[in-house]
Structure 1
Amino acid sequence: KRNFDTNDKNWINKWKGGVVPYQYDSSFPDVHKADFQCAINEYHTKTCIRFVPRTGQSTFLTVGYNKDVCGVAYGTRVDIGDSCAGGACPVLIHELGHILGYAHEQDRPDRDQYIGGPGLGPPLSTFETFCIMYDYLSIEHYEGECKYYGGPWVPKLSGVTKCGGGKSLSVLDVNKFNTCYDCKGCLGYRWMGIKCFDPSKHVKVEGGYDLDGTKFYVCRGWHHGDIIPGKGVFPSSGSPYCYVGHFNQEFTLFDFEVLTNSNGANLQWAVTPNVPAGALGGGRVTDRTTYYIGRCFIKYNDKWSLAIGKIYANDSRNLRIPFGGREVDCVTEIGYLSCN
């Protein structure tokens, strides 16, 4: 099985404790060992999953070679070949995702809401999404089949300009792996779709307040291809909503995700000159660039608001805040949501 089916007691693709013992097959050439180490380092730096050399374990990953393929994963074996146009490391990141239990993103049960076209297989009813939104840029999403690369598949949401994961795990990939493997510590925070949010079980992350004192909580939502961090409001009556900024405008979203911290990760707002090492990736642009989560004070009519917004990774001192129907630049000190 290649899906996060956590209800299946026979599911072998979830490795106990997130530890994957591995050994190289005798056929595996030394030239590709650096590619494999590159791939597992992607998981080591962004998740709690650990690939370790086998020391006698009965269940382990075999890393093999097949000259006739680019990459393939099945059961507890992954093979790499020599026909990878985009490089072997990204292919191995993709294939190791399958070994860890991740299906192709376009096989999600809600797939038909997001992409269509000939050649799509049937959606998997047992695919566990963890209430995290569809990810066109997942490392597990096919790339060449999308219309942007000459393929027949057509994304149904506006603003999508790419498919596929590029050369690394996407922000949402990281969130899904850390949720599936119940990562703790600084990886213990969870994004939760608002339809799955249960205030009796999930502790939402407070981030600021409005001019009238209304509390803001960290949220993110989809708008025109971007996944944008913003400020969530949970009124005592009525539906919660999330304000996000995009192209100088403020938008109100009712279908969004809220950041939760039921595991007690040591989250804090770090006021530093640049993005701190433990900054949380809260979203991304259509070109795969990460949005970090920031906040700052903003004054209007002699009142202050502490508002949450997005920080573009390539311009780390530019915090953009949704405020009063517009998207505005922060002119006071920036606090980056991070974990120490």
Structure 2
Amino acid sequence: TNEQPKAAIRSVEPYAYRRWPYARIPYLVSSDYTPNERAVVAKAISNIETATNCVKFVPRTIEQDYIYITPDYERGYACYSNVGRMGGQQLVKMQGDCVRESAMTHELLHAVGFGHENQRPDATQYITINYQNIRPVS
């Protein structure tokens, strides 16, 4: 529908300094990943490049701002990414059962600049909570 592209635009990082110049995102993949895990990263990158037709992930050479896709076990278990370009080395931390295509695509979209739809400032205009459908904590 015509609403889908508008909704996607509204969920993108609004601050220019958090956007990746020319929609090019330098990336580095940790050598700690297995070949199968590296294939998951490649598929997630391909998903985003194909779906957006404008974002391009490029292997890092000398760029100061880049994403580093890593399991980073030293900092505990977690799977996350900041939203948009932060500057310098930016972790996209993916480990364990997070290293699957859907989760990897999700976190890489955060690095691109997409946040969660339900956290947009205008979310309450589009989301209705049916409190009667919420089960009490037992």
TM-score (norm 2): 0.69
Q: CA deviation at 1:27?
A: 3.0
Describe the superposition over 1:167-197 as per-residue Cα deviations: whole angstroms up to 9, x where unpaired. xxxxxxxxxxxxxxxxxxxxxxxxxxxxxxx
Secondary structure of the 2:97 match is coil
Partner of 2:63: 57
Percent identity (aligned): 25
Partner of 1:79: 93
For these two proteins, the number of residue pairs brought into alignment is: 114
Secondary structure of the 2:32 match is coil
Partner of 1:45: 50
User: Are 2:16 and 1:16 aligned?
Assistant: no
> Structure 1 residue runs of 4+, over 4 Å off?
none
Partner of 2:113: 101
Question: For residues 79 and 110 of structure 1, do their structure 2 counterparts lie closer, same or farther at Cα, with a shift above 3 Å needed?
Answer: same
- Does the CA contact (< 8 Å) of 1:22 and 1:52 recur in 2? yes
Structure 1: runs of 5 or more not aligned: 119-146, 153-340
Q: Partner amino acid for 1:80?
A: M
Greater percentage in strand:
1
Q: CA deviation at 1:78?
A: 0.6
Larger Rg: 1
Describe the superposition over 1:192-245 as per-residue Cα deviations: whole angstroms up to 9, x where unpaired. xxxxxxxxxxxxxxxxxxxxxxxxxxxxxxxxxxxxxxxxxxxxxxxxxxxxxx
Q: Partner amino acid for 1:110?
A: D
Question: How many angstroms apart in 2 are the aligned matches of 1:21 and 1:117?
Answer: 42
- Does the CA contact (< 8 Å) of 1:21 and 1:57 recur in 2? yes
Structure 2: runs of 5 or more not aligned: 1-10
Question: For residues 5 and 83 of structure 1, do their structure 2 counterparts lie closer, same or farther at Cα, with a shift above 3 Å needed?
Answer: closer
Describe the superposition over 1:253-281 as per-residue Cα deviations: whole angstroms up to 9, x where unpaired. xxxxxxxxxxxxxxxxxxxxxxxxxxxxx
Q: Partner amino acid for 1:105?
A: E
Q: CA deviation at 1:5?
A: 4.0
Q: Partner amino acid for 1:108?
A: R
